[in-house]
Amino acid sequence: MLPKGLVLLITISLESGVIKLAKKQVLVQELYSIESLAHIDTICLDKTGTITTGKMKVSEVKMYDEAILPKPFNEMMVAFVNGMEDNNATFKAMKKYFKGDTVYNTIEKIPFSSERKWSAISFENMGTIVMGAPERLFEKSKVQMPEEMIDLQKRGKRVLGIAYTNKVIRTPELPELEVVATIILEDPLRKNAKEMLGYFKKQGVEVKVVSGDNPLTVSNIAKTAGLENYDSYIDLSTIKSDDEIAGIVDKYSIFARVLPHQKSIIVKALQEKGHKVAMTGDGVNDVIALREADCSITLPDATDSAKQVSQIVLLNSDFSVLKDVLMEGRRVVNNITSVARIFFIKTIYSVLLSVFCILTNMEFPFIPIQITLIDLVIEAYTSFFVSFERNEKPIKGTFLKTALTNALPFAIVIMLNIIVLTVLGNGMGIEQNTLTTMMYLLIGFVSILAVQEVCMPFNKVHAFLFSTTAVGFYVAAYLFRNLLKLSPLVVEQIGIVAILAIISYIIIFIKRKMYKLSEI
């Protein structure tokens, strides 16, 4: 009753996929994650490091009023980057640009927060330098944010504001500020970003960009990368409550100014709407969302916690190989779903036959060695080779339901044959061992019809597999008839088997035609 060979076949198929992906610098940390990614219909990508390279650099510094600073701007910025302990991509770019050994005595330090969107250091007798999102700093200033800053964000530039106050900042609440400069950073687009997004679109996978950046910046980057719905964006800092997220996840393609905890809310909301979600992330703030996702993906330079919870690590930081992971998953799922009918036929008719034997007080007609031949020649042989074939079709339906639905007609035909032979055997006085032989030959025939269905449409390989399965089963049954406890049949009995085989073929043929009509 147990499709034990199917468990081994699934494991071998998944392991072969892991080996193939390892050659393409993809570390699969959980075997089933290949299958998980094959089922996704939505992928949540971060802008930085995924669509872009994540290697930021300062391209320009625009000064407004350096005179208000107690020390030269460059000197104070060097002291700022030397005193701050942030280690994100933006801060690394700042450290490369503002180089030096200047260090001031620090009174108070507030590290960068995704929620506040700014960081600050208060120096002894010199006031406080604040660095962060320009809109956050300008709203605490007496002047409005210049139009050129908005234009830069629309062009996909990352813009940081630098502000000053002579007060010491000890709380998350900003005092009145004077913006002294803005810093423009560039983050080059990945060479294969367009290819990656285009591929997901072609495969019916919806892309959601989840970023902490300004919505105009993210939208422009998405447009450059070829995202179709680049203008469908929302600034999550404008929503009143996280409860609103569930109602908007299907409406927008870009979510900007996202707080760390909101990433997992977005993933959960998509899952509650029936989506299978993949999530990319590389920081501590992404860990919860990565855990929640159906498939989690990260990079080699991600934090240890992100790598530990992620199922797939892209060792060469190349997101374009996700298509190879997707294809390996589809190969495994589609091929195993196709051949599973051969395994489940035996499961279904074994259960039905057991019930029939109990109700009729009849001895179970088969012995284990007979079923072993079916396992080896019919189930394992063809299924093993078919499972390695390329198959990139989108996955439809669920595995168990599809496999059982495909197997049920064959199992029912086998049971009908057994019932008919049982009735004829009792009426004609056929010995039980002879009757078992007739049943066994028909079980093999109907199971071979299932192999034929798996091998369609025929090509050279499929034709070879089908013909060797059909011939091999009956040749083995004849050669090992004594080991299998099979009895020789007379002409009359062979005729009965042949008639039932023809009827079985007609029933399966009609079923096949009806199935094709239902697909049209």
Burial-class residue 474 by CB neighbours within 10 Å (0-12, 13-18, 19+).
Answer: middle
pLDDT > 90 fraction of the chain, expressed in percent and rounded: 49
Q: Looking at residue 228, what is its pLDDT?
A: 86
> Which has the closest alpha carbon to 42: 187, 215, 313, 255?
255
Alpha-carbon distances, residue 109 vs 56, 99, 169, 259, 321 (angstroms): 24, 20, 8, 21, 41
Computed over every residue of the chain, the mean pLDDT equals: 89
Which range is most confident: 198-212, 271-285, 446-460?
Answer: 446-460
> Given a cut of 90, is residue 73 above it in pLDDT?
yes
Cβ pair 394, 203 in contact under 8 A? yes
DSSP 143-173: SPPPHHHHHHHHTT-EEEEEEEESSPP-SSS
Alpha-carbon distances, residue 462 vs 163, 403, 457 (angstroms): 71, 20, 8
Q: Tell me what the mean pLDDT of segment 14-32 comes to.
A: 90
Residue type, 283: G
**Which CATH number describes the domain made up of 57-186?**
3.40.1110.10
Q: Give residue 350's pLDDT band: very low, low, confident or very high (50, 70, 90).
A: very high
Annotated catalytic residue, options 46, 187, 282, 294: 46
Cβ pair 38, 329 in contact under 8 A? yes
Please give the Cα distance from 223 to 216 (Å, whole number). 10
Cβ pair 59, 186 in contact under 8 A? yes
Helix H or strand E segment including 131: strand 127-132
Record: fold of 326-519: Calcium-transporting ATPase, transmembrane domain (1.20.1110)
> Given a cut of 80, is residue 370 above it in pLDDT?
yes
Count CA atoms within 13 Å of residue 423 on its CB side.
5
231 is catalytic: no
Answer yes or no: pTM beyond 0.95: no
Q: Looking at residue 518, what is its pLDDT?
A: 56
> Given a cut of 80, is residue 249 above it in pLDDT?
yes
List for the chain the helix, strand, coil content (%; round to 5).
55, 15, 30
Q: Looking at residue 517, what is its pLDDT?
A: 53
> Given a cut of 80, is residue 519 above it in pLDDT?
no
Please give the Cα distance from 130 to 113 (Å, whole number). 12
Q: Give me the helix-helix angle, 147-154 and 215-225, nearest 10°.
A: 30
Cβ pair 188, 225 in contact under 8 A? no
Please give the Cα distance from 509 to 517 (Å, whole number). 13
Q: Is omega for the bond preceding 457 within 30 degrees of 0, making it cis?
A: yes
Q: Looking at residue 76, what is its pLDDT?
A: 94
> What are the extents of the domains in the chain?
26-53+191-317, 57-186, 326-519
Q: Give residue 217's pLDDT band: very low, low, confident or very high (50, 70, 90).
A: confident
Q: Looking at residue 520, what is its pLDDT?
A: 46
> Given a cut of 80, is residue 283 above it in pLDDT?
no
Sheet strands (E) in 169-281 = 178-186, 206-210, 233-235, 254-256, 277-280
Structural class in CATH, domain 26-53+191-317: alpha beta
Cβ pair 328, 388 in contact under 8 A? no
What tokens does 151 get?
A: 């234009």
